[in-house]
Amino acid sequence: MPRCSVALLLNFVPPYRVALLRALEREVRRLTVLVSTGMEADRSWKTDWRGLDVRVARSIALPYRRRHPDGFSEALTLHLTFDLLPRLGFLAPDVVISGEFGPRTLQACLYRRLAPFLGRRTRLLVWATVSEHSEHGRGRLRTILRRLIAKLSDGVMTNGESGARYLESIGFAPERIFRIHQSTDLDRFTDINASARTSTGAEQAVRLVTVGSLIPRKGLRSFLQHLIAWCGQHPDQTLHWRLIGEGPERAALEALVLPDNLRLELPGNQPYERVPALMADADLLAFPTLADEWGLVVNEAMAAGLPVLASNRAQASEEMVSDGENGWLFDPADPDSTEKALARALDTPPEQRTAMGAAARRTSAGFSHEHVVQRMTRAIDAVWAS
């Protein structure tokens, strides 16, 4: 199959995607990344493209709030790009990959239909990082627009089985859905020294770590209340929860009265490169999200050798966590499910947690950038050949 030129359309390039895009760049004839902004305002990351051909389009950002049927709301941003069509006309890519289902992808659909009149052959792949939980309760107009995109595009890439089920429900043909998991820089986490998790002293605290924005969707306040209840029932045992990130839930978390045997550490936002070190002395990852299209921190924690206490409302949990083998699964909307999984995780002997962490690390190896790029190139070749 001849190598194609590719235009990738995104809101911005997060740091965890840079190595992936550099690997993809080596597999195609030309990769050009068109972004709506260098970095979104609510992100603490630094802009770092490390030699990629990234071009910032003329756009405006419109903030809005979405109310999820599961009872939380979140602040989101809609990017409107003004010069996308002429940029695509100048680049003349063989394949356009467009992130998500917004105005950017509608413009990509228009370019896909206009290209033959310009004497060009172009194919369009939508990159839909979605799950059934993340898309639950989308409005009628949005669903109509997505069904239109399904008709006008040549294929769609998504994170896993939950995303595929959602996409099929809005009109994508099963044979046009390409399952491509999310990946991270595994080497940054596999170098963590597991001996850092060995504590000394008569009282050994079980150390939990969580990485993510402190927002209602992450289910942090409810999970902390479960930790408080567990500590009340186990006064002779100690928990330490390091919660890395920042957001509007911080004040509510700090306001909760904690028992003496529970320590909550809130170091705030941390540079991306420091996250592996902050995982080094943890015993397990806590991931109580109410809805996540993936949950890349699960990849990172598993690569670091941590078993994962994970909400079943994230696609990473569905695709990566085997209950009782490399982690524990629970439904954050079900208090009984959460309490039972929490008890199982915290009652697991340290040597068994270590073995589960080793199993988690083996699982993470199957979610490398190399595997993801192989699947992406197969999807690109498939739509180009169609």
- What's the pLDDT score for residue 193? 59
| Per-residue pLDDT, 201 | 39
Q: From CA 156, how far away is CA 150, in angstroms rounded?
A: 8
Looking at the chain, the whole-number percentage of residues with pLDDT higher than 70 is: 96
Q: What is the pLDDT of residue 16?
A: 85
Other C-beta atoms within 10 Å of 322: how many? 13
Dihedral sign, CA of 291, 134, 333, 248?
positive
Sign for the pseudo-dihedral over CA of 100, 185, 304, 276: negative
Is the Cβ–Cβ distance between 38 and 12 less than 8 Å?
A: yes
Q: Which residue has the higher pLDDT, 275 or 74?
A: 275
**Mean pLDDT, residues 232-248 taken together:** 95
The answer to whether 95 and 8 are in contact (CB under 8 A) is no
Whole-structure pTM over 0.85, yes or no?
yes
Please name the amino acid found at residue 133. Answer: H
Q: What is the pLDDT of residues 87-102, one digit of tens each?
A: 999 999 999 999 988 8
* Mean pLDDT score, 247-269: 95
Q: What is the pLDDT of residue 43?
A: 75
Residue 39 corresponds to which tokens in the numbers above?
A: 């970095």
Residue 222 has pLDDT above 90, yes or no: yes
Task: Measure the CA–CA gap between 123 and 6, rounded to whole angstroms.
Answer: 10
DSSP 60-75: EEEEEEEE-TTS-EEE
Nearest to residue 207, comparing CAs of 274, 264, 267, 270?
264
Quote the pLDDT of residue 74: 77
Angle at 216 (CA atoms; ends 214, 219), nearest 5 degrees: 90
Residue 200 confidence (pLDDT) above 60: no
79-137 residue pLDDT tens: 888 999 999 999 999 999 999 888 999 999 999 999 998 889 999 999 999 988 888 87
- Residue keyed to tokens 């060009």: 120
More confident of the two residues 150 and 69: 150
Q: Report the DSSP beta bridge partners of residue 33.
A: 8, 54
Confidence of residue 76 (pLDDT cuts 50, 70, 90): confident
Contact 45, 6 (CB under 8 A): no
Q: What is the token pair recorded at 293?
A: 């299209």
Where do runs of H (alpha helix) occur along the chain?
15-25, 84-91, 103-114, 132-135, 140-152, 161-169, 187-190, 220-233, 250-255, 275-279, 296-303, 315-320, 335-347, 350-364, 369-385
Q: How far is CA 301 from CA 25, 75, 110, 297, 341, in A?
A: 27, 26, 41, 6, 18
Instruction: Count Cβ neighbours within 10 Å for each residue of 234-267 and write b for 16 or more, e otherwise.
Output: eeebbbbbbbbbbbebbeebeeeebbebbebeee
Which tens digit of pLDDT belongs to each residue from 287-307? 999 999 899 999 999 999 999
